[in-house]
Chains A and B, each alone.
Chain A
Amino acid sequence: MRFSRSSKSVFGLLTAGVLLVIYAPLAVVLVNSFNSNRNMIWPPPGFTTDWWVSAFHSNGLWEAVGTSVIVALASTAIALTLGTLVAMALSRYRFFGRSTVNLLVVLPIALPGIVTGIALNNGFRTILGLQLTLGTVIVAHATFCIVTVFNNVMARLSRVSPNLVDASSDLGAGLWTTFRLVTFPQLRSALMAGGLLAFGLSFDEIIVTTFTAGSGVTTLPIWILNNMFRPGQAPVVNVIAVVLVVISSVPIYLAQRLSGDDADNAKG
């Protein structure tokens, strides 16, 4: 395709337009975090930094952030392990039931969250008789995060030549050594990208979490949900949203750096 100046600028304009649409509501969120009226009426009658101060001092908020981070880290770790295993199996071997396994991995995210939520809730509480704790949330999150890791690793593995693995074992390396020194370095960027997406998915998840979190477990989305009902506390949620968006740029940038380098190398 030859891109004339005009078609480049058309695409560029459309892109800018979409970005504007994406960020306009976030600008509303930012403005609302300074809204002097605690019911966030629009347009804001005045501005105040009270909510930012209040957010900083709110123990409940920081505990919720901590809980969310723990849940996301644990779920991502599990998802990374399981996702890589499945991806390696599916990319290297042809076997009966291959597409069924693929479907199985995809199901937790393809079926609506509320179905997953009530199914797991029923499964944990009624059938297994378990209490709903941090563990149940982690298990639930890990289950639907597997697919993001799986996809990234599959895509990466399809670009990796199996010859390298063969060469490695020809040279006498055992399976684990081959994985550690040959396969894993190539997968690293895919794992980073998949892991980051899994982390983000888990961090912001509300529907499945509502159904699988016990009484003592307050992840950040649950805290936000509660605070939207709490008398006069609602604007604080805008503060945390802004902070998260800004902070998220760092890990996203890092992940992009890592996967971007490999993508550039592998481009055909």
Chain B
Amino acid sequence: MARAGSDFRTSFAHRISSLLFNRAKLRLGLLLAAPITWLVLIYVFALVALLVTAFWTVDSFTGAVHMEWSLNNIQTVLTSSLYRAVTLRTVGIACLVTIADLILAFPIAFFMAKIAGPRSRRLLVIAILMPLWASYLVKAYAWRAVLSHDGLLQWLLAPIGGQTPGYGLTAVILTQGYLWLPYVILPIFTGLEKVQNSLLEASSDLGAKNWQTIRRVVLPLLVPSIVAASIFSFSLTLGDYITVNIVGGASQMLGNLVYTNVGAANNLPMAAAVALIPVILMFGYLAAVRRTGALESL
């Protein structure tokens, strides 16, 4: 360790260090200055500006934005049966995708965290993370091929008399479940790693069967990780419009409504109004789960 010796005591660096040594608040302020400025100026500002736009209207032909205040867009979004139906559909899909992913993630995360040796664990983590690098679009198109009328799934199910669900909501659930799976496995795996083996041993010493230990000891400890994982999968599903376009058949989700309003309708105020729906939903969810400490486990 390099020590500058007596020069250091009188140097500029030393003066700063001693100045900050007793002033915790100043240190805190300096630490937070850059990130908070970045996030507020860039992100929060843009978000608020977008939401403000929801209260404006647009000249339907030229696309020029009129800055007169009007609740038209909000009213349409709240009352129109289209938005109600699509919101319910999207939330429903998000729930199903989340549940499916959690069910798929748990065994593999548990195996990786508690049963596999360090070498296999490493390999498994690599195996989970590698598919993230194959482009989202390419994977979605691969699923399109798998689910098609004469695709892989049909070929697998035909011997037992089954049939591919084809393109539609089921396809969307399957594909999105597949795409978000690594994002769900990781937090659960991290959470499981934190569960100390001694707890598990103690539990079985006290006579609990394995699945009882899982249900009564492991799962409650995993709640922050589960919630963190669900935040990912919810948020990804609520805003997605690409997967629906590729495997969704004739259906549409919230993301599509926002996207077509930005694009087709060239109507940013309306898009912003529709975007309010997922924003409020996610904010609500985040606020509700703040207590569980999930926000620190993302």
Contacts and interface: CB of A to CB of B under 8 A. Distances in A.
Interface of A: 1-3, 7-8, 11-12, 14-15, 18-19, 21-26, 28-29, 32, 40, 42-43, 81-83, 85-86, 88-89, 93, 95, 99, 101-116, 118-120, 122-124, 126-127, 139, 142-143, 146-147, 151, 154-155, 169, 172, 174-177, 181, 200, 203-204, 206-207, 220-221, 224-225, 228, 237-238, 240-242, 244-245, 247-249, 252-253, 256-257, 260, 263-264, 267-268
Contacts of A203: 133
Given A26-B134, A106-B298, A112-B235, A175 B17 contact: yes
Contacts of B24: 93
Pairs A-B, 9 closest by C-beta atoms: A112-B239, A123-B46, A174-B17, A14-B107, A248-B133, A89-B31, A241-B138, A25-B142, A1-B200
B171 to A, nearest CB: 13
Nearest to A120: B46
Nearest to A220: B135
Contacts, number: 291
B114 interface: yes
Contacts of A115: 47, 50, 239, 258, 275, 278-279
B241 A114 contact: yes
11 contacts: A18-B181, A22-B127, A89-B32, A106-B295, A115-B275, A118-B275, A146-B35, A155-B190, A206-B242, A242-B134, A268-B198
A153 to B, nearest CB: 11
Chain B interface size band reads 35 or more
Interface string B7-20: 01000011011001
A contacts with B: majority SS: helix
Interface of B: 1, 3, 8, 13-14, 16-17, 20-21, 24, 27-28, 31-32, 34-36, 38-40, 42-47, 49-50, 53, 104-105, 107-108, 110-112, 114-115, 118, 121-122, 124-139, 141-143, 145-146, 148, 150-152, 178, 181-182, 190, 193, 196, 198, 200-201, 203-204, 210, 213, 231-232, 235-236, 238-242, 255, 258-259, 262, 268, 271-272, 275, 278-279, 282, 286, 290, 295-298
